[in-house]
Amino acid sequence: MNIHEYQAKELMREYGIPVPNGKVIYDAKDAEAVCWSIDTDIAVVKAQIHAGGRGKAGGVKIAESIDEVKKYAEELLGKRLVTHQTGEEGREVRAILIEEGCDIQKEYYIGFVLDRDKSGVTLIASEEGGTEIEEIALKNPDKIYKESIDYILGLTEFQARRICFNINIPLEIINEAVKFMMDAYRLFIENDCVLVEINPLVVTKEKDLVALDAKINFDENGLFRNEKIFKYRDLNEEDEKEIEASKHGLSYISLDGNIGCMVNGAGLAMATMDIIKFYGGEPANFLDVGGSATEENVKNAFKIILSDEKVKGIFVNIFGGIMKCDVIAKGIVKAAKELELKVPVVIRLEGTNVDLGIEIIKKSNLNIFAAKDMNEGARKILELIK
Ligand code: GDP
Ligand code: MN
């Protein structure tokens, strides 16, 4: 789960991490009051959306007067901001953060990520901050330093210090920078994060260390034990279909293609997407209806898939283990009738009572084609949507 910059900074403040003074507003008429309350000559007005690249896209403005703050607040609120991370449809700005400005001497990059290869957390740092890490990796790979953090020991001070030397943090603030990294690591671990990224971390002309931007991602599987973080969830930033699916206990991720996929089991869902791609098609979604694939599940899944206008056909690929194939077939036929399915459906069933299941599909007289294996199924749905 992703949260907004202002929320990330609120959390960081609780961990003693230095962030600029600021307040979030949802209505431009509150801009002036915030300016007075943060008492600053230069303010920064920042669009709050779940995407980076705002700076280059005009979502971060430096204002030198209250009138300018008001002007930028009015411009940004309600606007659809398009950054290279949002896709061309952009994201509506519903909140903006107004912060005190600071005099930047140098920008650094600090990130903690869950590193699957190392089975642990890796600290990544660079003195080329302000630029995205992917870009630094391309242009200046030798300017990126990493520390693998031992799960038991946690981040050690010598590792944080080594990073400071590698990225040339000014000597007089190394202790502060070490504390910064230790605190950020504690935040990461205590809140089940998968990413804590501070880009840029800046050293100001007055030699203060400040986190100017913050991006935090949480592992959704840990949210049940962290109610406070869960409250940060912003449904406006999430795909409607994904929210609907999560209400029904379905794992759904929407994609850009036109073949809807209904599958049970994450592994089979991945394999199904692969085979569609293999034959030159594009899946419209990843969807795991869960191991027990009940009639109700199947119906909800169809509804969600069909709410995506791009979908031209559906490939159902279900393994009847716990739930027998004939029960699944009945569920699919019933759902297809109730929903008056208009797009072609190819279904590949395998498992217990598969023959009974296929018989039910064939007798239904619906626009449903039974495939005997995944290859045939993938080819058939592609042919049908042509
Ligand atoms: P992002 O583009 O979405 O990652 O947004 P950031 O919060 O990282 O802001 C982009 C850039 O705006 C930063 O790298 C800074 O160069 C600049 N910026 C942000 N806050 C301030 C500030 O207080 N003072 C100055 N001078 N520049 C700032
Ligand atoms: Mn940034």
What letter does residue 2 receive in the DSSP assignment? B
The C-alpha atoms of residue 195 and residue 216 are separated, in whole angstroms, by: 5
Using a cut of 0.85, tell me whether the model's pTM lies above it: no
Quick check: bond before 18 cis, omega within 30?
no
For helices 354-363 and 325-338, the axis angle rounded to 10 degrees is: 20
Class of domain 21-101: alpha beta
* AA identity, residue 374: M
**Is 107 known as a binding-site position?**
yes
- Residue 311 Cβ contacting ligand 1 at under 6 Å: no
**pLDDT tens-digit map of 36-69:** 998 888 999 999 999 999 999 999 999 999 999 9
The torsion defined by the Cα of 62, 180, 4 and 28, in degrees rounded to 10, comes to -30
Query: What one-character-per-residue DSSP string does 229-254 give?
Result: HHTT--GGGS-HHHHHHHHTT-EEEE
Residue 202 Cα to ligand 1 midpoint, Å, equals: 10
- Residue 54 Cβ contacting ligand 1 at under 6 Å: yes
**For the chain, domain boundaries:** 1-20+103-238, 21-101, 240-385
Instruction: List the structure tokens of 312.
Output: 């031209």
Ligand 1 atom closest to 83 (CA) = 3
**pLDDT tens-digit map of 292-338:** 667 788 888 888 998 889 999 999 998 887 778 888 888 888 888 88
**pLDDT tens-digit map of 365-381:** 888 998 989 999 999 99
**Is 222 known as a binding-site position?**
no
What does each C-alpha distance from 229 to 70, 85, 262, 315, 316 come to in angstroms? 31, 24, 31, 37, 36
Question: Residues with Cβ < 8 Å from 102, sequence gap 6 or more?
Answer: 20, 202, 204, 208, 210, 212
Fold exhibited by the domain 1-20+103-238: D-amino Acid Aminotransferase; Chain A, domain 1 (3.30.470)
Fold exhibited by the domain 240-385: Rossmann fold (3.40.50)
- Residue 128 Cβ contacting ligand 1 at under 6 Å: no
Tell me if domain 1-20+103-238 and domain 21-101 are identical in fold.
no
- Residue 102 Cβ contacting ligand 1 at under 6 Å: yes
* AA identity, residue 129: G
Indicate if the pLDDT at residue 106 is higher than 80.
yes
Residue 267 Cα to ligand 2 midpoint, Å, equals: 35
